Amino acid sequence: MRYEPLPSSFFAGNREELASRLPAGSMLILHANDVFPTDGTFALHQNANLFYLTGVDQEETVLVMTIREGGWDEILLLRETNEQIAIWEGARLSQEQARELSGIQDVRWTDEYDALLEALVPSASMVFVEANQHPRCTCPVETRNARMTKELKEKFPDAVLKNVYEIMADMRQIKKPEEIKALKKACDITNEGFRELLRFIRPGVGEWQIEGFLANEFISRGPRKFSFLPIIASGKDTCVLHYIQNDKRCEDGDLVLMDIGTEYGNYNSDMTRTVPVNGKFTPRQRAVYESVLNMMTYAKKILRPGILKSEYERLVRVFAAGELVKLGLITPSQVAEKPSDPPIVRKYYMHGCSHFLGLDVHDVGEANPVVLPGMVFTVEPGIYIAEEGIGIRLENDVLIGETENIDLLGDVPLLPDDIERLMAR
């Protein structure tokens, strides 16, 4: 393995918590993600909920749980390896390896799946399956869970099907110590790669070359991939929020905005830095940078237990209005039209400041939660001045603590003087 697996007790504890939330007499059927079809081989991106409950990072895996009064039974189904699979794809988990990894003792091969459902589904009061309800998810391609749920309806038309998504999303909002350790490792690798990158950026370098440099820095330290398709945007494209072409050369005098991150053991980092291509901010670039930095500092200060997420976002926008006035982008009279939440702010700061982070980059959870200890959020304010070709976003990952927050990316260079000093190397 490229990463140190989480202890089986972590996954067992998650299954215990899930079982306590499901009614007696019910059952759960949860499938791995598909491997994307191609004429070659794409890597599996595992179903986060299945990983959270089993620790298994292998295709065609199925978790079946049956809930009874005072307890539950659990069965893990695996794709059985054979000589051909071993030759062409490499060995798959043995049943004993899966037991050690997941803590599930009843491990079988997937050829028992149909018979198992015939035995269990008719007597279940309801069957919990997964349908992705993430607000950012669009699924034009049918997922394996959706496909198998459709088959389940056809074979067992009388079965009562329920979606486990909201239960799992609620469980995953609060990160356990094992998860925080993995998140911190992903953040540390991001920090190391970014520090090396600062010596590499210079006028004439291609955005794609920055992406390639980071890929080497990240993957050589253990991760399999970026957490998401990286944004390497220079010049006027710093004002394009989800720019992913990464196909231009970085010009002298411009900024380059990098929204990047890597994963470690399926847990993700998410960081944004904006730096001067030539290593020296212009006075205007520095002024905008410092305003965004002020926004970040304020946001981290108020993102504390007890605040409602929507109220936090509103307060950040109100604070941003003051920074935009200082920069001469808006006027006090425009702010005064609605000081409680000035609409004019969205001309230059049009996205939210924070989202959950974990097994998914935009991790699951309530749409508008009360902030609680153990949650992990990004903090990513920005100011985008399209008419000046200046877009600056800064982003760190923050663990909400009982007495104080912990910035998981707190060691990454952030102050403009530090950026310039490191780039001067």
Q: Which residues are the active-site residues?
A: 39, 242, 259, 270, 351, 355, 362, 380, 384, 393, 395
Report the phi/psi class of residue 222: left, alpha or beta, with left for phi > 0 and alpha for psi in -120 to 50.
Answer: left
Q: In Å, how far are 234, 256, 274, 391 from 251, measured between CA atoms?
A: 8, 9, 14, 15
- Judge whether 265 and 225 are in contact, CB under 8 Å: no
Which pair of tokens denotes residue 182?
A: 């993995």
Angstrom distance (rounded) from CA 49 to CA 61:
12
Query: Residue 269 class from Cβ within 10 Å (0-12 exposed, 13-18 middle, 19+ buried)?
Result: buried
Report the phi/psi class of residue 236: left, alpha or beta, with left for phi > 0 and alpha for psi in -120 to 50.
Answer: alpha
SS3 345: helix
| Residue given tokens 């600062």 in the structure block | 198
Angstrom distance (rounded) from CA 58 to CA 32:
7
- Judge whether 256 and 207 are in contact, CB under 8 Å: yes
φ/ψ (deg, to 5) at 393: -130, 140
Angstrom distance (rounded) from CA 100 to CA 87:
25
- Judge whether 54 and 22 are in contact, CB under 8 Å: no
Which pair of tokens denotes residue 263?
A: 């994963």
Angstrom distance (rounded) from CA 103 to CA 266:
19
Residue type, 155: K
Angstrom distance (rounded) from CA 195 to CA 422:
8
Residue type, 300: K
Question: Nearest CA to 81 among 120, 103, 107?
Answer: 107
- Judge whether 128 and 149 are in contact, CB under 8 Å: no
